[in-house]
Structure 1
Amino acid sequence: MKMTIKEIAKLAGVSQATVSKIINNYDDVGLKTKKRVWEIMDEHGYRPSYAAQSLAKKVTKVIGVIYAGKINANFNHPFFVEVVSSFKKTMGIEGYDLLFFSNEKFNKADENYLARCQHYNVDGCIIIGGDEVEPSIYDLDNSDVPCLGVDIKLSGEKSAYIMTDNLQISSLAVEHFYLLGHRDIAFISGKKDSLISRERLEGFLDVMKKYGLKVHSDWVVYGDFFEESGYKLMKELLEKDPVPKAVFAASDLMAMGAMKAIKESPYDIADFSIIGCDDIMASRHVDPPLTTVKQDKEKIGKMAAFILNDMIQKKIDKTHIMIEPELIVRESSGPDRVN
């Protein structure tokens, strides 16, 4: 037997008007109430009919999710998995469904995201930035489709973006090394043409200069944010003379790869200070637990959802938000490890 709004309201302890407002995405209902009502509707298999609403309001309650660039084609980096999970949860409470666009076909044919968004009549898009971003992304950015970028700087009139302050990420890492007594620091970066890599490298070079520290050009190496590249690059650094004992990696996965390489070498891991970036779940479980610069993935995803929803509702115009990072100190960086 199909549930009614009246029955949903009774189970949730709210009025029918409140349930109707939640279904229609009104703003004057608290987030906790929205969440409770949606959970009850899910539990009892109640599905509001959005057909009439869509015709009247010209909305579909569908958000496109695009992983731009080659690095994100497999949806498998833990940072983005956690961001999108938080985004999905918040958008679900607001009554939206997500439609994931595969970019595999776009890399092989001259198709474009804007045409796909128009075909499915999405209300807006979240675009997750990666390396070698397809030109079609910027056609979408400059269209009338509201777009929210994560780790990609969008500039369209209907676009916004959010990311962690990458300059501050590097500043926190180098400052921590400096306070531990390190004066020679290596940097394992992402790809050279990545926006995130460029900004973190810029931050690294700026703060090294600020503290009067020498930058060893052959200690600045480039990977791809994944563990295997961190492992490979650390093995190369271990062949240098002298060997860098303080290493900042631009992702936790690369830092973990670096730690693995050190453990397989004749060196003692206790003689090195390693700092990563992201604070993914695995970073606290490696041996030794990894010091890292945390990106608040839940906050990024939740804020991305709220900003995109407000843009769809025409409550805000284009904007950009920088999230402050946080240094999480664990055993991999000291405190007694100095050159």
Structure 2
Amino acid sequence: MKDNNSITIKDIAKKAGVSQATISKILNNYTDVSQKTKERVFRIMEEAGYRPSHSARTLAQKTSKLIGVIYAGRLNADFDHPFFIEVLNAFKRTIGMHGYDLLFFSDETFQKEENFYARCLYYKVDGCIIIAGDDVQQSIDDLTKSDIPCIGVDIQLEGPKSGYVMTDNKKISQSVIDYFYLQGHRDIAYIGGTNESTVSNIRLKGFRDSIKEYGLTLNPEWVIEGDFFEKSGYEAGLALFKDVTKSPTAVFSSSDLMAFGFMRAIHELGLSIPADVSLIGCDDQLAARYVQPPLTTVRQNKEKIGRLAALMLLDFIGDRSSTARVLVEPELISRKTTAQLAP
């Protein structure tokens, strides 16, 4: 195998058993090449590590005005997750004002790996927004190392034309511990996402660091792994309060959805929020202000994240920026699920 940098269109054509002209047609999305041939050529390119230059991909064409939307890894972050829906809506509105349409990639399209890079070449997308998931596949890394502009939301992308935007997740945890501490709480539990989630790991580290900064002792049984959805919050509530005499006085749930599940568990156990336990969620979803009692939570500015993601990607596409890493400030919203401990 040649060094990846020395592989040429001629090499790909020979391996695929087609002419160089056919390769050129495929790169430029001509319609007189069969789908089967296109897929075979793109797989050969991927296996060989071949990276067409920007000029080769854009020869004889204008921009496609298409933006690829990719949900990375196992889809904890899918269409049913309110946070990402709101971010994507803001992204769509902003990118749409500049004449772009969205193209959603399905994991089932290519059975042999995801081949996101090959698919981006095939559809000639001008750039991609990549939404965080868990256990991110290798083909995401291959894509972000290419010359296709990519912007990540809640996923830290590294590459020549890649960047990301997310809430400052460490500050989320710091603000929660500060708030609980000022209310007199010293026995604080944490319900997080999986350890395969970048966001979850940052929030957990921020939680542990803040607990340590205040000189508090963290009970390891009070750190529970969830998945950002209601059921895991419900199960965490049952686990934390199976023995009320050894339970925390305050709980930080790193998503509102898990906080809603936790509230249901506490109600079923015959306990009360905030009389028996204070609770803070994260995201400030619309339902947070309508549950009873209304949920104290940390607001992520979803509109701003979506707009920034669109504008940053447009800068990449227009060669006005190469890499960008932006953290958005969180805001703690005080409602009725927290209370001052009696001295």
Contact persistence 2:153–2:166 (CA under 8 A): yes
- In structure 2, the partner of 1:322 is 327
Per-residue CA shift, 1:199-245, capped at 9, x if unaligned? 00100011101111111100000000001100011111111441112
Query: What residue is the counterpart of 1:279 in the other structure?
Result: 284
Structure 2: how far apart are the matches of 1:82 and 1:273?
A: 27
SS of the equivalent of 1:66 reads strand
What is the alpha-carbon distance in structure 1 between the residues aligned to residue 147 and residue 76 of structure 2?
25
1:261 equivalenced with 2:261 (yes/no): no
2:194 pairs with 1:191: yes
Tell me what 2:299 maps to.
294
Counterpart check, 1:84 vs 2:88: yes
Q: What are the superposed Cα offsets for residues 263-313 of structure 1, whole Å, 9 maximum, x if unpaired? A: 111222232110000111111111111011111000000010000001100
* CA distance in 1 between partners of 2:90 and 2:169 (Å): 21
Q: How does 1:221-240 map to 2 (within 5 A)?
A: 221-240=224-243
Matches within 5 A, 1:239-258: 239-240=242-243, 241-258=245-262
Q: CA deviation at 1:333?
A: 1.1
Query: Does the 8 Å CA contact 1:75/1:81 hold for their aligned counterparts?
Result: yes
Identity score, percent: 55
Classify the secondary structure of the residue corresponding to 1:70.
Answer: coil
Corresponding residue number in structure 1 for 2:10: none
* Aligned match of 1:153: 156
Distance 1:96 1:293, change over 3 A: same
Judged with a 3 Å threshold, the aligned counterparts in structure 2 of structure 1 residues 303 and 323 are, in CA distance, closer, same or farther, namely same
Distance 1:102 1:73 in 2: 14
In the alignment, which residue of structure 1 is the partner of 2:209? 206
Query: What are the Cα deviations for residues 48-71 of structure 1, in whole angstroms up to 9, with x where unaligned?
Result: xxxxxx987630111000011113
- 1:64 aligned to 65, 68, 72, which one? 68
Question: What is the match of residue 22 of structure 1?
Answer: none
Aligned 8 A contact 2:75 2:134 in 1: yes
- Work out whether residues 288 and 295 of structure 2, in 8 Å CA contact, stay in contact via their aligned partners in 1: yes
CA distance in 1 between partners of 2:280 and 2:188 (Å): 11
Which whole-Å CA distance do the structure 2 matches of 1:226 and 1:290 have between them?
16
Correspondence for 2:169: 166
- Alpha carbons of structure 1 residues 232 and 105: separation in structure 2 relative to 1, 3 Å: farther
**Do the aligned residues in 2 keep the contact of 1:68 with 1:103 (CA within 8 Å)?**
no
Partner of 1:134: 137
Cα separation, partners in 2 of 1:165 and 1:73, compared to 1, 3 Å? closer
1:328–1:250 distance in 2 versus 1, CA, 3 Å: same
Provide the aligned length of Structure 1 versus Structure 2. Answer: 284
C-alpha distance in structure 2 between counterparts of 1:264 and 1:111, whole Å? 43
What TM-score, normalized by structure 2, do the two folds share?
0.80
The TM-score with structure 1 as length reference comes to 0.81
Unaligned runs of 5+ in 2: 1-57
Partner secondary structure for residue 89 of structure 1: helix
SS in 1 for 2:327: strand
Once residues 109 and 316 of structure 2 are traced to their aligned partners in structure 1, the CA distance between those partners, rounded to angstroms, is 29
Return the alpha-carbon distance in structure 2 between the equivalents of residues 337 and 217 of structure 1: 23
Residues 1:105 and 1:215: Cα distance change in structure 2 (over 3 Å): farther
Q: Per the alignment, do residues 81 and 337 of structure 1 end up closer, same or farther by CA in structure 2, a change over 3 Å counting? A: farther
Deviation at 1:186, TM superposition (A): 0.3
Q: 2:183 — aligned with what?
A: 180
